[in-house]
């Protein structure tokens, strides 16, 4: 792994005033939150995360899907922001750094960053699957289970569903509009820890590039976005971002 940022990447970070950072699951990997394409462990070994995060799975077995999200919420609560999250918050002392994330965790917020859009919702915003009414915070059980019935809605008796965007569901409009506006105003877009396979979020780097905004990918591996960005740095979030933030501040 490179210890210094590639020269052009460092120069861009040094001069940028309005930075948008698009993050995916790899951003939180070094906090111990598994990515979507990682194999799952323990209770969830036999399940594929990309199959559980669907309306189909919810309709077939809500108790299973609810228990999985409760387990993930508990895992995120125990996790702490990593050096990458903290570096993005530090970077905002010297530039306007706006986070557009696909992650449903709250690690950017806990690090102190300005999150302008949670494109795929949040683990901590359950709502009724029938009438849409928000639920208060629901604490995960002490002992994780493979099936947990979701609480029922006081107004209509529907079930609490996770406040996340599942495969095949539309993105919430306002966060999407905020993401587009942030990109339109950016002079640098940094793409961290996303495989770039889920649209429309994966279309944002191309939109930036078409608008003439330089784009950098930070990811240890080749992704579907690699061909669509201007600069690539093969490193991890927790290693690379502190170096970028130091260039800028
Ligand atoms: N630092 C940076 N990148 C990393 C790290 C790390 N420490 N570890 C892994 N990665 C990269 C992987 O190489 C991969 O490209 O993170 C990416 C994770 O990809 P995905 O698991 O596909 O996550 P993401 O792109 O966020 O998925 C998009 O799909 O499942 C849905 O809604 C869910 O928001 C999610 C969306």
Q: Which tens digits make up the pLDDT trace of 28-71?
A: 999 999 887 777 777 788 888 889 999 999 999 999 999 999 99
Distance (angstroms) between ligand 1 centre and the Cα of 23 equals 8
pLDDT for position 40: 75
Tokens 């889920």 correspond to what residue? 198
- Count CB-CB contacts under 10 A for residue 244: 29
Q: d(Cα 84, Cα 193) in Å, to the nearest integer?
A: 11
pLDDT tens string 107-157 = 999 999 999 999 999 999 999 999 999 998 788 777 778 999 999 999 999
Tell me, yes or no, whether 217 and 140 share the same domain: no
Question: SS3 for 10?
Answer: helix
Residue 47: both structure tokens together: 């399940």
pTM for the full predicted model: 0.96
pLDDT at position 36 is: 79
Output the domain CATH number for residue 101.
3.40.50.1220
**Are 189 and 230 members of one domain?**
yes
Question: Ligand 1 site: residues with CB under 6 angstroms?
Answer: 24-26, 29-30, 35-37, 50, 53, 102, 120, 192-195, 197-198, 219-221, 223, 236-237
Same domain, 241 and 140: no
Sheet holding 188-192, edge to edge: 114-118, 96-101, 18-23, 188-192, 215-218, 231-233
Q: What's the confidence (pLDDT) of residue 3? A: 66
The answer on 196 and 74 residing in a single domain is no
State which H helix or E strand residue 177 sits in.
helix 173-184
Same domain, yes or no: 39 and 110: no
**Closest ligand 1 atom number to CA of residue 30:** 7
Residue in 21, 29, 35 to alter for ligand 1 test, most ligand atoms within 8 A of Cβ: 35
Tell me how many domains the chain contains: 2
What DSSP string runs through 55-114? Answer: HHHHHH-HHHHHHHHHHHHHHHHH----HHHHHHHHHTTTSEEEEEE---S-HHHHHT-E
159 DSSP 8-state letter: B
- Clarify whether residues 95 and 137 are in a common domain: no
Give me the CATH number covering residue 67: 3.30.1600.10
Q: Which residue, among 188, 190, 167, has the nearest Cα to 24 in the 3D structure?
A: 190
In this prediction, residue 135 carries a pLDDT of 94
Q: Write down which residue in 138, 161, 184 finishes a domain.
A: 161
* CB of 164 closer than 8 Å to CB of 104: yes
| One domain for residues 109 and 228 | yes
Q: What's the pLDDT band for 1 if we cut at 50, 70, 90?
A: very low
Q: The domain containing residue 134 runs over which residues? A: 34-78+127-161
- Closest residue by Cα to atom 14, ligand 1, is 195
Same domain? For 203 and 234 the reply is yes
Is residue 156 located within the same domain as residue 235? Answer: no
| Residue 232 and residue 191 share a domain | yes
- Give the pairing of strands 18-23 and 188-192: parallel
| Catalytic residue flag (residue 108) | no
> In terms of Cα–Cα distance, which of 203, 233, 193 is closest to 216?
233
What six digits make up the tokens of 11? 């120069």
Q: Are residues 233 and 197 in the same domain?
A: yes
Of 161, 179, 214, the domain-final residue? 161
Same domain, 143 and 235: no
Cis bond before residue 200 (omega within 30° of 0)? yes
Name the domain boundary from 161, 185, 210. 161
For range 228-238, the mean pLDDT: 98
Q: Mean pLDDT over residues 77-88, rounded?
A: 97
Which of 11-15, 16-20, 138-142 is the least confident region? 138-142
Over pLDDT 70: what percentage of the chain?
99
| Mean pLDDT of the residues in the chain | 94
């Amino acid at each position: 792994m490179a210890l210094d940022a590639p020269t052009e990447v460092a120069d861009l970070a040094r001069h940028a005033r309005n930075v948008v950072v698009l993050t995916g699951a790899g951003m939180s990997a070094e906090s111990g939150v598994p990515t979507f394409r990682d194999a799952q462990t323990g209770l969830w070994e036999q399940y594929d995360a990309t199959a559980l995060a669907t309306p189909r799975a919810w309709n077939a077995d809500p108790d299973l899907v609810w228990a999985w999200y409760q387990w993930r919420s508990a895992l995120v609560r125990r996790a702490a922001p990593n050096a990458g999250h903290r570096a993005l918050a530090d970077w905002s002392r010297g530039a306007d750094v706006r986070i557009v994330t696909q992650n449903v965790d709250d690690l950017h917020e806990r690090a102190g960053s300005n999150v302008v859009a949670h494109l795929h919702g949040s683990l901590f915003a359950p709502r009724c699957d029938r009438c849409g009414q928000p639920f208060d915070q629901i604490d995960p059980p002490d002992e994780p289970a493979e099936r947990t019935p979701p609480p029922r809605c006081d107004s209509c008796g529907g079930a609490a569903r996770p406040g996340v965007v599942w495969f095949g569901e539309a993105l919430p409009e306002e966060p999407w509009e905020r993401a587009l506006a942030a990109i339109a105003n950016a002079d640098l877009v940094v793409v961290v820890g996303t495989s770039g396979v889920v649209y429309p979020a994966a279309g944002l780097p191309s939109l930036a590039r078409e608008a003439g905004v330089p784009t950098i990918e930070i990811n240890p591996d080749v992704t579907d976005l690699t061909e669509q960005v201007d600069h690539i740095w093969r490193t991890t979030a927790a290693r690379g971002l502190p170096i970028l933030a130091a260039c800028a501040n």
